[in-house]
Every structure is written in structure tokens, then in C-alpha cells.
Structure 1
Amino acid sequence: MATTLLALAELIHATIHNRGADDVNIGAIGLDSSTIATEAAVFAAVPGTRVHGATYAGRDNAAHAVAILTDSEGAQLLRDAGEQRPVLEVADLRAVLGVASSSIYGDPSKDFVLIGVTGTSGKTTTSYLLEKGLMAAGHKVGLIGTTGTRIDGEAVATKLTTPEAPTLQALFSRMREHGVSHVVMEVSSHALSLGRVAGAHFDVAAFTNLSQDHLDFHPTMEEYFDAKALFFRADSPLAAARQVVCIDDSWGHRMAEVAGNGQTVSTHGEDADYRASHVNVAESGAQTFTITSPSGESVNVDLALPGAFNVANATLAYAAAARAAEPGPVKFDGAAFARGMSEVAVPGRMERIDVGQDFLAVVDYAHKPAAVAAVLDTLRTQIDGRLGVVIGAGGDRDATKRGPMGQLSAQRADLVIITDDNPRSEDPATIRQAVTAGAHQGAKEADHEVDVREIGDRAEAIRTLVEWAQPGDGIVVAGKGHEVGQLVAGVTHHFDDREQVREALSFALNNRDNPMHTSTDEG
């Protein structure tokens, strides 16, 4: 389903330099000079933060591309370098990259139902619930998100929550080739702002919630909201055909007002199109509840995932799937969808680690203030004893959330251990200092005594948390969840919170069972 160079230039209103006598077939496009397909491919040379992509046009696989798509700066760099291949020049490459990529791959998202999930927290879990529910209802499903990509249950490696437009459209094309009927994807604010999802035809957009995050990219919460609203506003070129908005927070109410063709979801008893009610929570954290749809029909849901926020995620997933069936000849099978949701477990999201210990141990991806608070609030309802948390903050990201993360942790937990997350290029001690300052403030505000400690080594922090725990307590290691690496000074070291917690728990149990056994580790 390739296009041609001339057709592509006409579509994106590009000026062609070095145009040859014959037209050229285009079958692929890519941004990475090392991985771009070499057969009938266009190299998209985008401006970078340090170096313009046009400087890589003659390197690696990009040297074999049949044409180059770039902006005016890139075109000048290519002229200076003596480039002889066709060059398509546009004023704003990011603005056309999605449409160009979609065209090159034959507009694949028109051939399946595409559901996008956006919001600050809950995107991954809601996507998993949609995937399992739709599969249980008899559909072949593709999934794109934070923890990777799957096609009909089989993993495909990707790097970003929402891949760059060329990668995304190539994935769509691959999914179409595999005969998927539905694709569920997480849609980040970066993807909306940077045009990564331009050229994709969304049938449904679902909004989870909004809280502080990404203020390094969006200067204010209003701008963060406006980026999300691109997915819902009727006059936006990125708007989905139909929308579903959770109105459990004030931002949800605002998004519902923005949505051009939206329905609402509530788990707090508000008047909404889809409502969750009769919530019962077991000692394990598993939940049962009822979802009522606009028609008045109800379905009972058994959910293994703990937390009130997961009731909201499941209700939103149900509503999005129901809306995806509109209009269509096949009625939405709500009962089958609910059965599928009952099987969902999400890596690194409220993931219990159990090696036989007599207290609750959880690993969670929470790395923003509201998410940390929600996780701790949920765990508090599941234990009779004390609550402890290991928390940190990432470097080169929104620095304003560091203090609030520590503050909210100390307001809720009995032990708060501040440690390193992914420092990236920043000084880890400086990051810890900001989180620790917030924790001390939260400890002053708490209605209970709080032990605040700072342990930079994340493995040592986890061991200390596990050693502190007693029967009936609950502990959570927050921030990295499913991640298996820790990025420090540009180097990624293997680190998996789940592995570390499991090792610490096993050691603690072995030590308890064998009093004569001692560790040579003084950490």
C-alpha cells in the first residue's frame, strides 16, 4: 500500500528539491538512521535538541533511503552537504509527519476500531482491561502502551508510551496484516502535542483523570489540560469520533464540557451515562461492583485489581468498549467483556509480591503525587498494621512534583524512605533532598508519628523497608513498577523493584527461620 514521492509531496504541500525525471515509490518512513527500512523508504530528518536529524541522512541505513523529508533548516544542511537524493521540504515537519506516515502505510487505522486512552494515571490499566475484555468478547486486539505492544497477545518491542508517528503507523500496518479488529493504545500528552497520533483515525477517546505531572513539558496545568483536550475538542483535528470521560475529578468535569461527542463515567454516585455502584472489597483487595449503562442495563464485575481508582478504570474501559460498538451491527457483549476484565493483572501496578511473608508487599508504578496518595490510601484499607513506602523521583523531569510526592507519602505512611529513582543526568542527592523536604513537611502535618529516612541506594532502601515490616503491616515500593532498568548518568543499569523485593523478602524469611544465619552485607 505504498504511495509515491509526488503524491506524498502534494499531500503535505512539500517543495521537492533534486527531483528526478521519474516518480519514486515510497513504502516506509523512519526517524532513526540506524533502523530505518532501506527499501523504498523515506528518512524523516527532524530537528533535535542538540543536532538536526539532517546530519544523519548519509549515515547508517538512512544513507540508502530513496528520499529525505525535512524542514527548511534540514534542507539547507543537506544542500551544504551536497545531497543528491530527492528532498521534500516543509515548514513544520512535526505537523505533517503523522499524515505523511499514515499515507505511506496505506492509512491502516481506517481498517480497524481504534480506541485511545489518555489521562495522568490509569492509562495502562485501562488499556489492559480493554484488551482483555475485547478479547473475551471475541475480538482480535492490538495493544500499544507503556509496558510495550502486543498483537493478539504476542509481545512486540517499543520504547515510548505512544511511539513516534512513523513507528506508530508501521505498527498499525502490521496489526492490519495480522487481521486485528480493535487496537487499544495509550495516548500521552506528548503524543498529542507533538503530533505523533496525527493521521490516526480514533473511534473512541477515553479520559481517566488529570493530576500534576509533566510540568517540565507543559509549563502549567492549564496547558497540560489543553494538550489532553486536543483529543476531545470538536474543532481539533486529533479529536476522536466519540469520547468517554471519567468525571470523578474536577478536570474530568471540565473535559466532559469540552468533549464534542462525549459520554460520562462516574464511580462517586454522580449522574453519569455509565455508573459504578455496590462496590464490595475483599480482604485481598479484590472487588465486585455493578456497572449501569445509559440504557439502564447492568452488569456485575469481579475485579482482581485493588483500589477505588481501578473501579474507575474498569468502568471507563467498559464504557469505551460499548461506545466503540456504536454504530454497528453487532451488539456490545457487556457480560463477556466483564468476564475478560476479571482476568487482568497489570505488571508493576499494585503488583503483590508474596513469598510467604506475613505482611503485604506491593510494587507500583506510582511516580506522581496523586498516584502515590491513591496507592497508599488503598493499601491502608487492606492492612491492620503500619504502612511503609519507598519513594523517589526521576531526574530531568518535572521537579515541582518532588516535594508533594514526599509530603503526601508522609501524611499517609508510618515509614517513608526516600531513595533514587531514575536520576538520569541530575545529581541524585539534589533530587532526594527535594523529596525529603516534602516528607518532613508532611510528617509535621500528619496525625501520627512518621519515620522519614533517606537511603540513596535503592536496593538498600528496599531491604530496609522489608526488614522494618512486621506481621499485619503493608509496604509499597513506588515509582518504577514494571521497569527493569535504572538510568544513572546516561547509563542504564539492570534494576527490577519486583526482583529486589522478592529477594529481600526471601532473605528476611530465611533469616527468621534460621536465627544462626547472619548476613555479611552491612548495608
Structure 2
Amino acid sequence: MRPAVVTPVPLGQVFSDLPARLPPVEPVPGHDDAAHVQVTGIAIDSRMVRAGDLYIALPGSGRHGASFTAAALRAGAVAVLTDEAGVAAAAGTIDRVGAVPLFRAAHLRELVGPLSAIIFNSQPAHASRPALFGVTGTNGKTTTTYFINALLAGLGRTTGLMGTIEIHAGGQPIASALTTPESPQVHGILGLMRERGIETAAMEVSSHAIDYRRVDGVYFDVAGFTNLTQDHLDLHGTMDEYFAVKAELFTRERTSRAVIITDDVWGLKMAEAAGADVLTLRTSVTEDDDAQPKGGGMPLHAADWQVRDVARQGLGHRFSLHGPAGEQLTLHSGLPGTFNISNAALATVMVLASGVAVDDVQHAADSADPFSAAVPGRMQLIGDRPAAIVDFAHNPDALARTLESVRPPAPEAKLIVVFGATGQRDQTKRPIMGATAARLADIVIVTDDDPHDEDEAEIRQGVLTGAQQARDADNLACEILEIYPRAEAIDHAVALAGPADTVLIAGRGHEVWQEVKGVNLPLDDRVELARALTRYGFSVHPSHRIES
């Protein structure tokens, strides 16, 4: 996705417009005739090159991008930029395939985002660029971005979206392969939004995106922080390193305003570390407003915005939101889970931080009910009796919050959970997730998630060990089952359920493929859950009904 029309930019101007702090770009002798070259796009994947593109040949884990220079030239690349290691391969290909200028620079990754912003004209200085909201944190990013967009739509704004589930730039939604796309795609999408007159856009910003420089050159009008809990330690190593990556989003170089939930010590640390103008938000409600968070820090009552007066309303909640100057809003979320109060409050304060008046936000909240917007695979209700829910909860904190929020009210009713763990990811969280399920559910069914190239049985055993140890240590009454494949586990869960029970299918959410040993197998938890409900005579919401 990129603009339909891009004004050609002289290649020399593109390089000269780069900030002085970035590595210099130098022509390779003998391949430096760039006087008349103009570019209309940029790509780091030879398969995505279009005519008029600058191809950046990056080093890869297996092969260097310079080895794909021929494919890039055949697709229409008008210039190549690589590092010292790629110069020889790129130059040899250019000599054989076609004469285009060749450039080299160190630390190529640092250049991709800024170059993309220049070429696609997505810099924040552009008058018609959409106002941009970025959300980071371990859990809640997807739902918060959907809530932001729903609230902005209620205010009459046109909206765009970049995230885990889909990319939306005013036309047909496109399924997303990454939480945050690579930076040429990010800037191309922003350029497309500008071209289509989209006024606002919300983007999920993962730690991978920051670490891999996918959002370099992007400037957010408002950035929000949900929470930080154990996840992605296979990439970051420690929670402190994970935090440090997230904190990069809240520097002056990336955003002007930050809204940070300070319900725990990580949120307080983020508020203190942020270089942008910070608004703090407290969404956890306790009887003691002067409570100190675990780990120390400022009293929780010191937050600028605070959630109060939480009350159940149907499956969701009604609550009030109080601001630093006496502002007060009354809000509602129809989605289950107290964490959706946090997501709704964060979305609200981020929109307020962008300059929208409190009265306008209250009117939009009343008229559009933005915080009941359906989010695919996020607390998605497939049936009511039993309550049959699909959620993306795939780490210990998210699983705990979800299980706590869907516990059926009747004392004799059962909470049944089906989940697994992803292969080739942080193995330390597997037994923690098993223990969490054992402590909070009545029936725990351990199955497969996405094993990737790892042995499925070993993954399941890691989860089962945690569940069984917690059951034995705490003398719990829960039943623990191992059932696979996943579709059979979902079917068995519904077979065990009565109308008053709750069946939660956790971990995969909106995903429709299960990756096993390099093969993508069709598997949609929502479809399997609807099929099982139908098989056992339970009702299914109209949008999920299975035709017989």
C-alpha cells in the first residue's frame, strides 16, 4: 500500500534532506551517475520493488539483500543503496543487468525510515498528513487503537488503522502480517492516507517495531502506553531491556504528547522516563486512593486522569473519568473485562490530548458507543449460553485478566479454558500460564497454539507442568486435560459445558492459520467454537452461525 501518485524526487535531494545525525550516503565510484535519477518509491524487499524505486539492499540472516539486486532491477529499481558488505555483489549485478547508480552507507537500518518519509512525503510537517495516534504496551494495543478510531469516527473524523489484525486506509481492509509493517510500508500507508484525505490514524507500535526500526521517521501526535508484563523476553532478554525499548516511543524525537497508564511500577517508570509532555492515567480502582504501587513510586492518586465509579452493566461496565482541571466524563464499554475499562479510558484521554474538547468527546461517547466496538478475536463473543468467548490472551498477565473477567456469576457454574503456548517464543512463560489457568479456571484444557518448528508435545508439557504443580501445591480442585489437535480441544470444551458456564478459547484470537513445521493449516478458533456450539445444540450469534 502506497500513494497512487508520488511526485518524483531527485535522488540527490533525497539524500541531502536526511538529518545530519544519520550516517552519510556515499556514491560508489564508477556507479555514481545520479544527476538525472528521480525516485517515486522505496523498497527493502526485491519482491516489492516497483518502477521508480530506490532499492535498499540490507544484510539478512541468511543472504544479503545485495544478492537480489537483479530482481530489483528487473522490477524497475532506479538506484541501489547498500552497505560495504553488499557493494561488490550489487556492483557486479548492475554491470551485467543495467546501469543504475549505486550508493553505500553504514548502519543502513537507520536510514530506511527517514528515506521512506522523504520519498513518500509522510513527514509531520505536511499540512494534510493525518493526525497520528500510536499505542504501545504488552496487552491492549489492538483494542485501544480500535477504540480510538471508533471515538474519532463518532466525532465525524475519517480514520485509518495499522495493526495486528488489519491495515485500513479508507478502502478495503487488508489483513496484516506484522503488528507494525516495515518502515517503507508504514510511510507508504501514511502517504496513501494523506492522498485519500484521511484525517486521523491509529497505529499499534510493538517492541519489535521499535527495535527493528520499523517506525523510524514516524512522528506521533499522541502516543499511549497500556502496560508492561512478561512477553517477548526471547527477543529482549530482561524486563528492563523490554521496558527500555518501549520507552523509546516517548522521546521528543517520536512524539509530542504521551498518555501513560500508571497502574503499576512500570507505568510510573515510563511516565518518569518519557521526554514528551506526559499525562498520567490511573485505571485500577482500589478503596485506598493513596495506595503506593508495588515497587514504590508516587501515590496512585497523583495521576492526572482517574477512572472512578465502576459498575457492571450487562457484560461490560459503566465508569466515570476525572481530569486534572475538574473535567468529568461518563463512559461505557460493552465488552467484557475490566481491562477494557483501561483501554477505553486510554483511548479517551489520548483523543482529549490531541486537542478535542471534553464536551465533544462526551457527545461522541453517548451517541456512538465507541467502546463497544467489536474487535476481531479480542473478547469476541461467539455465543451467550454458555458464554463462548475467543480472546488473544497469549501471555500470563493477559490470560489472568481475561480469566478473572469471564468467571460466570453463578457459584456452581464452570469456567473452562482452552489454550496453549507458541513455539519458538519465550519458554519461561509456559509454566506460568499453566499455573495461572489452574488457579483461575475449573477445567483447563491444554492444547496446541502455533508450534512453528518446535515439538508440539514438548510445548504442551511445559504448560501442563506449570498447571499440575500449581494444582498440587495449592490443593486446587481444577481438572487438567491435554487434548489435541486444537479443534478437538475446542469441541471437547463445549461438550463439557452447560448453559450457565463460560468457555474461553485463548491465545490465537483473530488468527486463521496455524503454523506447524513450516506449513500453514487453516484454523480459526471462532469458526471451530461456533461449529462446536452448533453441534451440541447451543445458540450462536448470527454473524458466526455455521450453515448445516
Pairwise same-fold verdict (TM > 0.5):
yes
Give a deviation string over 1:436-494, Cα, whole Å, max 9, x none. 11111222244531111112300011111111112321110101101111111111111
Counterpart in the other structure of 1:389: 417
Counterpart in the other structure of 1:19: 32
- Report how far residue 333 of structure 1 moved: 1.8
Counterpart in the other structure of 1:348: 377
Distance 2:483 2:163 in 1: 32
- Report how far residue 9 of structure 1 moved: 2.8
Matched, 1:101 2:101: no
Counterpart in the other structure of 1:306: 336
Counterpart in the other structure of 2:279: 263
Counterpart in the other structure of 2:351: 321
Which of 130, 138, 157 lines up with 1:112 in the alignment? 130
Matched, 1:87 2:102: yes
- Report how far residue 144 of structure 1 moved: 0.7
**RMSD, aligned α-carbons:** 1.9
Counterpart in the other structure of 2:43: 30
Would the aligned equivalents of 1:67 and 1:87 in 2 still touch at CA under 8 Å? yes
Alignment of 1:221-232 (within 5 A): 221-232=239-250
- Report how far residue 128 of structure 1 moved: 0.5
Give a deviation string over 1:63-120, Cα, whole Å, max 9, x none. 4211112222122322344544212211011111100100111134442211100000
Counterpart in the other structure of 2:153: 135
Distance 2:210 2:538 in 1: 50
Would the aligned equivalents of 1:322 and 1:332 in 2 still touch at CA under 8 Å? no
Matched, 1:68 2:80: yes
Matched to 1:15, the amino acid is E
SS of corresponding position for 1:262:
strand
SS of corresponding position for 1:361:
strand
Would the aligned equivalents of 2:26 and 2:105 in 1 still touch at CA under 8 Å? yes
Which of 457, 461, 468 lines up with 1:429 in the alignment? 457
Distance 2:15 2:152 in 1: 39
TM-score by length of 2: 0.88
SS of corresponding position for 1:456:
coil
Counterpart in the other structure of 1:498: 526
Q: Percent identity?
A: 39
Give a deviation string over 1:163-193, Cα, whole Å, max 9, x none. 1000000000000011111111000111111
- Report how far residue 332 of structure 1 moved: 6.9
SS of corresponding position for 1:88:
strand
SS of corresponding position for 2:249:
coil
Give a deviation string over 1:344-381, Cα, whole Å, max 9, x none. 11111111111xx6321111001111000100010115
Matched to 1:277, the amino acid is R
Counterpart in the other structure of 2:388: 361
Give a deviation string over 1:4-55, Cα, whole Å, max 9, x none. 21122332521122111633111101122222222x1111222221111111
TM-score by length of 1: 0.92
SS of corresponding position for 2:329:
strand
Would the aligned equivalents of 2:251 and 2:274 in 1 still touch at CA under 8 Å? yes
- Report how far residue 153 of structure 1 moved: 7.1
Q: Structure 1 residues 244-253 or 26-35, which shifts more?
A: 26-35
Q: Give the number of equivalent residue pairs.
A: 501
Would the aligned equivalents of 1:390 and 1:419 in 2 still touch at CA under 8 Å? yes
Would the aligned equivalents of 1:414 and 1:449 in 2 still touch at CA under 8 Å? yes
Matched, 1:297 2:327: yes
Would the aligned equivalents of 1:43 and 1:62 in 2 still touch at CA under 8 Å? no
Cα pair distance change 1:505/1:157, threshold 3 Å: closer
Would the aligned equivalents of 2:9 and 2:39 in 1 still touch at CA under 8 Å? yes
Structure 1 stretches lacking a partner, 5+ long: 512-523
Matched to 1:70, the amino acid is T
- Report how far residue 140 of structure 1 moved: 1.2
Q: Structure 1 residues 333-342 or 141-150, which shifts more?
A: 333-342
Matched to 2:419, the amino acid is I
Matched to 1:350, the amino acid is M
Matched, 1:182 2:200: yes
Distance 2:522 2:12 in 1: 47
Q: Structure 1 residues 144-153 or 488-497, which shifts more?
A: 144-153
Distance 1:132 1:445 in 2: 45
Distance 1:138 1:69 in 2: 43
Matched to 2:122, the amino acid is D
Cα pair distance change 1:508/1:21, threshold 3 Å: closer
Distance 2:327 2:408 in 1: 31
Matched to 2:169, the amino acid is I
- Report how far residue 61 of structure 1 moved: 6.7
SS of corresponding position for 1:115:
strand
Which of 238, 242, 265 lines up with 2:257 in the alignment? 242
SS of corresponding position for 1:389:
strand
